[in-house]
Amino acid sequence: MAAPGADGSSGSIVPTLVTFGLVFVIFYFLIIRPQNKKKKDAAELLKALKKGDRVVSIGGIHGTIQSLKDDTVVLKVDGSTKITMSRSAVSTVGEQSRPTKKAAEKPVDDVETEEPAADSAEAASDSDE
């Protein structure tokens, strides 16, 4: 029969507790804290909704808020089309900026170009072999 503690373990639990503590602290700062901040920001966004705001729902529906109640929002989508949805279904407020035609057509002068002649000369010498 073996004596207690003779199985080769050191018997100290302190290093294990310190390791678990460090893992918990890392999880807190990398996962739990940012998630709580996102929840807080989302709650503030929903509280700040007002009539006339342009919003996008979690389903991708774009519209303008026509009226607000405690838990619901009425969106004017197009013309006389109105949709009633849950206030928590609002994803973003405001229009996301879209590039204008002028910005898309503006030429880019800072791009370095390679000499195509050098590449074609190498390709021609490779094809001769």
Q: What is the CATH number of the domain that holds 73?
A: 2.30.30
Widest pairwise Cα distance in the chain? 87
Q: Are 47 and 29 in contact (CB under 8 A)?
A: no
Q: DSSP state, 89?
A: G
* Residue 11 confidence (pLDDT): 72
What's the structural domain count of the chain? 1
* Domain range for 36: 14-97
Provide the token pair at 72.
């619901």
* Averaged confidence pLDDT in the chain: 79
Domain-located, residue 125: no
- Nearest alpha-carbon partner for 73 in 63, 60, 87: 87
Classify residue 106 by its DSSP letter. Answer: S
pTM of the model: 0.52
Query: DSSP characters for 47-88?
Result: HT--TT-EEEETT--EEEEEEE-SSEEEEEEETTEEEEEEGG
Query: What does the pLDDT look like over 40-98, one tens digit per residue?
Result: 998 999 999 999 999 999 999 999 999 999 899 999 999 899 999 999 999 999 864 44
Q: Does residue 6 belong to any structural domain of this protein?
A: no
